[in-house]
Structure 1
Amino acid sequence: METLKAIGRKWNSISLIKRILVGLIIGAILGVVWPGNDVLEMLGTLFVSALKGVAPILVFFLVISALANAKGAGAMKVVVILYLAATFIAAFVAVLMSSLFPVDLTLAAAQDTSAAPSDIGSVLTKLVLSIASNPVDALTNANYLGILAWAILLGIALRHAKDGVKDVFSAISDAVSQVVRWIISLAPFGILGLVYTSVGTNGLEIFTEYGMLLVVLLASMAAVAFVTNPILAFICFRKNPFPLVWRCIKDSGVTAFFTRSSAANIPVNMELCKNLGLNKDNYSVSIPLGATINMGGAAVTISLMAMMAAHTMGVEVGFGTAVILGALSAVSACGASGVAGGSLLLIPLACSLFGIGNDVAMQVVGIGFVIGVIQDSVETAINSSTDVLFAASAEYMQWRKEGRDFKPGADA
């Protein structure tokens, strides 16, 4: 037993990023020289399954505990406005970039995926029904809008409960967060399995076949992360936003890049907010909320992939249609799953705006799965890091109005 504890301490003493990079390299090498090993493929499957299993429970109990124990609304209104505005702006940036740098897609064979929404009416109906769904069903099927709605109602209802009852929910929330940390500590093995499966199935072309598409996609996400989001932050607290931007990317975005789950990265973001000295009554609500509705990276993916499909099919996209696409993608992105690959099945919805059939749209989804090793990781990094960026920006805005002195991005 002591030997196992010593091994565990030694393992945890090594930087998580270093461990993950080693797993990524080993997975790529084994995928080339020894493809088709079921045990190695199972590592990636187990890792993703564990994240999918724990993330809905995490969001549910975090929000209940946060609202039940909250003492004030604070900067929440500003945070929500920032989340929604940034998601719409991100979608429009993607539309603009794809118009300036169109790419002809080499469409792959259609993927056997679940049915996607076909029009804006159906997706709005689905969102409303998701909010009013059975809470057990919402947890079982990772319906994050339903989970969030029920957690908010229960959290508000428990505001007047006895302290002992509130402490129970706080303890459960802390316990689930610890389970997530344990799962993330095993990420190197999961990443090894995921990369091994991808390379073994598609070859090293998975990193190069759609290189130009990835360049435009990543450039769009970079514009959101380093141009539009910092502008929004500057408007809030009127100081240089880049120390805060870099801190969020370093402490939150890098971890989210490898875990590929905004929901699973919630404990990391909560710890960062604590280190920044933010008000727990605010960030304990805004961070889980951001994992559900702050989906700038997803909005970029949905808009850009739909625009590239339209370009490939020879569909002319006017300015008005592009604006509508941006709004549609932003609304759709808010309903995207908080786990890896959650935005891809919303691409056919955006394609339907251009009259592109489901058969072609699903081929574009297939391309999304091919480039997902990079695309989904960067998308999640942007989504998760900006949860903290805007939570801090809203609070810094309050501090500025109160005349408090502060350095954006510095520890409290």
Structure 2
Amino acid sequence: MNKKEVWKSYRFPLILLAGIVTGAIIGAVMGKKATVLAPLGDIFINLMFTIVVPMVFVSITSAVGSMLNMKRLGKILGSLVLIFITTGLIASVLVLVTVNIFPPAANTTISMGTAEMGEATSIGSMIVKSVTVNDFTGLLSRKNMLPIIVFAIMTGLAVAATGGEESPVGKLLNNLNKVIMKMVSMIMKLAPIGLGAYFANLVGEFGPQLIGDYGRVVLVYYPLCLIYAVVFFPLYAYLAGGKLGVKRMLKNIINPAITAFGTQSSVATLPVNMEACKKIGVSEDISNIVLPMGATMHMDGSVLSSITKIAFLFGIFQIPYTGVGTYAMSIVVAILSAFVLSGAPGGGLVGEMLIVSLFGFPAEAFPLIATIGFLVDPPATCLNASGDTIASMMVTRVVEGKNWLTKKAS
């Protein structure tokens, strides 16, 4: 590729990256004063979040509603769950090995003494709250992404049973989908400025802690994310579409990765992910289902960060982090906290509270991992969101067969 072709292919991600790097430099130079730029970043984030709920509902409902082949829908959902669980377990094994070789709490000056594990909280109510709401108005909030997805699937099935995409409601949904995606493209024009300002504020506020007591956590976690992305993402893409799959993934994964790194939200990255999947060649009915569900359920980066936080707390409170039961509980808690983390950028404080309560740590543990959450959230979300694009490719491989990508290319 010559310079013009490279610029044409990577112009927007390069501009995005330049915005984030510039913001990081401004944040490092200005320090706490960089918070003055926060409103610019907040405006962009708020615009993205404003469009997310209608986009998720309309895209899933129209995809399911126009799918007269229910067998295909079942295959999409079945393979989606299998792939999400498999990649999550792979991430869990990787981070468990890593934190045992490089304990994240080693050499820290933080000392909380010893602690006894408290009583574990029942997870039954957490599951109910994760998939349902007790009032229709709850479906209008991005904080309830799983209930929105469940309701959208049910609505889509009802549309499919009453005429599908040729029905008046089906046509309305398809037109709404086009309008919403056009609005997304308009909002994304603000991304370089918005992400730059958002990151300037983040680095300005939390930058000094990167070299303080939490430095080892960062030194363990950031390379771990890099290893996962460099080793497993190409492997997943190869399994999904061979060498062509890897090539297309590498070409189109940059936009979602950078957007997720800057916004620290898989939900806010959804519009960019949909654009990436379209360029790769993933069928719209698949990406419209996999991506919104992935933004809530497919959290490899958050699984990595949650288990790192758990291992950190075990070290701080001088509790041996060993045993199959402890590891199994860590995986379950990591997945549950990842579900909770999906709605909001920069921290997911409810997710950290979930870790503390389910493991029975004392209240003093919460601010410790809340701080870690802010430091590790950018790469965690980057893996979460860009992994959704690759998961869509893998689901397409299962649903449409081995040569799906070559057929699209031809």
Alpha-carbon RMSD: 3.3
Q: Which residue of 1 aligns with 2:151?
A: 150
Q: Which residue of 1 aligns with 2:303?
A: 299
Corresponding residue to 1:356 among 361, 369, 384? 361
Q: Which residue of 2 aligns with 1:197?
A: 201
Instruction: Provide the rounded CA distance (Å) in 2 between the counterparts of 1:195 and 1:379.
Output: 15
Q: Which residue of 1 aligns with 2:116?
A: none
Q: Which residue of 2 aligns with 1:265?
A: 269
- Is the 2:20–2:196 Cα contact (8 Å) retained in structure 1? yes
Q: Which residue of 2 aligns with 1:127?
A: 127
1:239 deviation in Å?
6.7
Corresponding residue to 1:220 among 221, 224, 234? 224
Instruction: Provide the rounded CA distance (Å) in 1 between the counterparts of 2:21 and 2:195.
Output: 10
Q: Which residue of 2 aligns with 1:113?
A: none
Q: Which residue of 1 aligns with 2:5?
A: none
Unaligned runs of 5+ in 1: 1-11, 109-117
Q: Is 2:175 the partner of 1:171?
A: yes
Deviations 1:300-325 (A, max 9, x none): 11111111111121111223111221
1:297 deviation in Å?
1.0
Alignment of 1:60-209 (within 5 A): 60-72=57-69, 73-74=71-72, 75-76=75-76, 77-104=78-105, 105=108, 119-122=120-123, 124-133=124-133, 134-140=135-141, 142-159=143-160, 160-161=162-163, 162-202=166-206, 204-209=207-212
Deviates more, 1:303-312 or 1:134-143: 134-143
- Is the 1:44–1:189 Cα contact (8 Å) retained in structure 2? yes
Q: Which amino acid in structure 2 is aligned with residue 52 of structure 1?
A: F
Deviates more, 1:292-301 or 1:161-170: 161-170
1:25 deviation in Å?
4.3
DSSP-derived class of the 2:219 partner:
helix
Deviates more, 1:358-367 or 1:303-312: 358-367
Deviates more, 1:28-37 or 1:266-275: 28-37
Instruction: Provide the rounded CA distance (Å) in 2 between the counterparts of 1:382 and 1:52.
Output: 20
Instruction: Provide the rounded CA distance (Å) in 1 between the counterparts of 2:19 and 2:248.
Output: 30
Q: Describe the shift of the 1:355–1:303 C-alpha distance in structure 2 as closer, same or farther (beyond 3 A).
A: same
In the alignment of these two chains, the number of paired residues is 384
1:178 deviation in Å?
2.5
Q: Which residue of 1 aligns with 2:3?
A: none
Q: Which amino acid in structure 2 is aligned with residue 333 of structure 1?
A: A
Unaligned runs of 5+ in 2: 1-7, 112-118
DSSP-derived class of the 1:358 partner:
coil
Q: Describe the shift of the 1:80–1:354 C-alpha distance in structure 2 as closer, same or farther (beyond 3 A).
A: closer
Instruction: Provide the rounded CA distance (Å) in 1 between the counterparts of 2:274 and 2:202.
Output: 32
Instruction: Provide the rounded CA distance (Å) in 1 between the counterparts of 2:382 and 2:211.
Output: 21
1:261 deviation in Å?
2.6
Q: Which amino acid in structure 2 is aligned with residue 174 of structure 1?
A: K
Q: Which residue of 2 aligns with 1:391?
A: 392
DSSP-derived class of the 1:142 partner:
helix
Deviations 1:156-176 (A, max 9, x none): 111124533212112222222
Q: Describe the shift of the 1:364–1:35 C-alpha distance in structure 2 as closer, same or farther (beyond 3 A).
A: closer
1:107 deviation in Å?
5.3
Instruction: Provide the rounded CA distance (Å) in 1 between the counterparts of 2:232 and 2:35.
Output: 44
- Is the 2:40–2:197 Cα contact (8 Å) retained in structure 1? yes
Q: Which amino acid in structure 1 is aligned with residue 41 of structure 2?
A: G
Q: Which amino acid in structure 1 is aligned with residue 19 of structure 2?
A: G
1:119 deviation in Å?
4.5
Corresponding residue to 2:341 among 336, 339, 342? 336
**TM-score, scaled relative to structure 2:** 0.81
1:238 deviation in Å?
7.2
Q: Which residue of 1 aligns with 2:281?
A: 277
Instruction: Provide the rounded CA distance (Å) in 1 between the counterparts of 2:405 and 2:10.
Output: 33
**TM-score, scaled relative to structure 1:** 0.80
- Is the 2:265–2:343 Cα contact (8 Å) retained in structure 1? yes
Q: Which residue of 1 aligns with 2:41?
A: 44
Q: Which amino acid in structure 2 is aligned with residue 91 of structure 1?
A: S
Q: Which amino acid in structure 1 is aligned with residue 328 of structure 2?
A: V
Instruction: Provide the rounded CA distance (Å) in 2 between the counterparts of 1:256 and 1:411.
Output: 28
Q: Describe the shift of the 1:55–1:248 C-alpha distance in structure 2 as closer, same or farther (beyond 3 A).
A: same
Task: Name the structure with the higher helix share.
Answer: 2
* Percentage identity across paired residues of the two chains: 25
